[in-house]
Amino acid sequence: MTGLPPSHAEAGKRISPMMILVVGAVLTAALAMGLRQSFGLFLAPMTMANGWSASGFALAIALQVLVNGISQPICGQIADRLGGRVVIMGGAALYALGTLGMALSDGLPLFTFFAGLVMGVAVSAAGMPVIMASMTRLLPESQRGRATGLGTAGSSFGQFLVVPLAGLGIAGFGWQGALFLMAGAALLMIPLALPLQDRPAPPALKHGQVEESAGATVKRALRSTSFWCLFFGFFVCGLHVSFLSVHLPGFVASCHLPSFVGAGAISLIGLFNVVGSLASGELTQKWRRRELLVLIYGGRAVLMAVFFMAPKTTATVLAFSAVMGVLWLSTVPPTVALCARNFGTRWLATIFGMVFLGHQVGGFTGAYLGGVIFDRTGSYDLMWLIGILAAVFAALIHLPIRDPRPVPAVA
């Protein structure tokens, strides 16, 4: 006897595995994102030590973004067939291999292979889409929005925590020693992924029904207006995220503000995104996801327009960063939920991986276009205008998405 009524004992059994699952997924997402966002810290010390060009280093990281986007649907398909745990563990091993290869590379071609190709696939396998899809598949619908918000917040907290630690590692052990430590940290994702045992079981089908194949689901998605609305909306999200991640410190410097303001702005975005992701996860369970995405992108448009016209001071930059942080990755929970609601959970990692490809293409565009515009005009003004118009476009393009109202959970 446990001393508890049967209903309480059964509830405890249900809650405990769910908590283990969510905590494991959140920590895995935090570590994966934190390690990935740390690579920019190595540009200055590695180029100086090896005599490489900054553009050569940047090209390798840009290639990583593209490979990540292209390989994401493939990793999602494998996760849908074999389960997310297998894919995430394999991605963690590739993370460690790629980071070690970066540390030991004696030339840009070899560095580009490890930092661009190997790490691009590793980020796809052990990245947010596979983690979120696996967690979504394992949880009841009433818990999915909140859990996805926690996972997204965890990834942002990883960025907030791991990036400074990587900087301390470079200062204390040198860039090569720091990369060795990061390779070891990547292996921690293997035990953290153990609860994500979501290998799909044969679905319960009615007599005469046939399970929809991956190819049929993909074809159905490609014919769906909702899919393309999500794809191009996520393209805009990636454009915003990469433009600000890569160019906000440079924009701050062009405004003749202290260098710490640029670093503080990026840190504030990561910190406040924890709040935004948690709030988005909760609202995803209570609101229609379509209206939530319209509100998020509309909020970005208003915020960027106000900041564009405001005087550029330390206070305005930090205030902008804090509010933008709330809207940063708050798009993820409703986007995942809409993918699941429109196309089911059986091939969710595949479908969300295809939507995520749009995010990464947008990310490459934002990072590269921002640099081209600055080189040719000496200002980021045109890029800010493009970002504002893109946010308006994203808010409008989500309106046609099919989003039936969720059925309220029974108490």
pLDDT for residue 210 is more than 70 = no
**pLDDT at position 223:** 93
Helices within 310-398 (DSSP H only): 314-327, 332-343, 348-377, 381-397
Over 60: is that where the pLDDT of 2 sits?
no
Residues comprising the chain, all counted: 411
Q: pLDDT value at position 406? A: 52
Flag whether pLDDT at 388 surpasses 70. Answer: yes
What pLDDT is stored for residue 389 in this prediction? Answer: 97
Q: How far is CA 281 from CA 61, 213, 333, 335, in A?
A: 30, 29, 6, 11
Q: What is the pLDDT of residues 67-89, one digit of tens each?
A: 988 898 888 888 888 888 899 99
CATH class for domain 215-404? mainly alpha
Contact 151, 139 (CB under 8 A): no
What whole-number distance in Å separates Cα of residue 401 and Cα of residue 390? 18
Mean pLDDT of 212-223: 87
Residue whose pair of structure tokens reads 């327009």 in the numeric block: 305
Say if domain 19-196 classifies as CATH 1.20.1250.20: yes
Q: How far apart are CA 352 and CA 346, in angstroms?
A: 12
Q: Global pTM?
A: 0.73
Q: What is the pLDDT of residue 305?
A: 97
The model's pLDDT over 30-66, given as tens digits with 9 standing for 90+, comes to 898 888 877 877 877 888 889 887 667 777 877 888 8
- What is the pLDDT at residue 7? 47
Please compute the mean of the pLDDT values over residues 302-329 and round it to a whole number: 94
How confident is the model over 381-391, as a mean pLDDT? 96
For helices 289-309 and 225-254, give the axis angle rounded to 10 degrees: 20
Same fold, 19-196 and 215-404: yes
330 has a pLDDT exceeding 50: yes
Q: What is the pLDDT of residue 81?
A: 83
Q: What is the mean pLDDT of residues 282-290?
A: 84
Res. 200 pLDDT band, cuts 50 70 90: low
Residue 209 has a pLDDT of 52
Ranges 217-226, 370-379, 387-396: which has the least confidence = 370-379
Write out pLDDT tens, residues 293-306.
Answer: 999 999 999 999 99
Burial class (CB in 10 A: 0-12, 13-18, 19+), 37: buried
Whether 6 shows a pLDDT value over 50: the answer reads no
Q: Is pLDDT above 50 for 409?
A: no
Mean pLDDT of the chain: 83
DSSP string, 90-159: HHHHHHHHHHHHHHH--SHHHHHIIIIIIHHHHHHHTSHHHHHHHHHHHS-HHHHHHHHHHHHHHHHHHH
What pLDDT does residue 384 have?
Answer: 96
Alpha-carbon separation of residue 150 from 25, 162, 178 (angstroms): 9, 17, 28
Taking Cα atoms as reference points, which of 166, 161, 144, 202 lies closest to residue 25? Answer: 144
Residue 258, CA distances (Å) to 123, 156, 248, 253 in order: 33, 25, 13, 7
C-alpha span between 17 and 144 (Å, rounded): 15
Structural domain spans, the chain: 19-196, 215-404
Most confident of 18-32, 103-117, 149-163, 366-380: 103-117
Tokens of 272: 């406040």
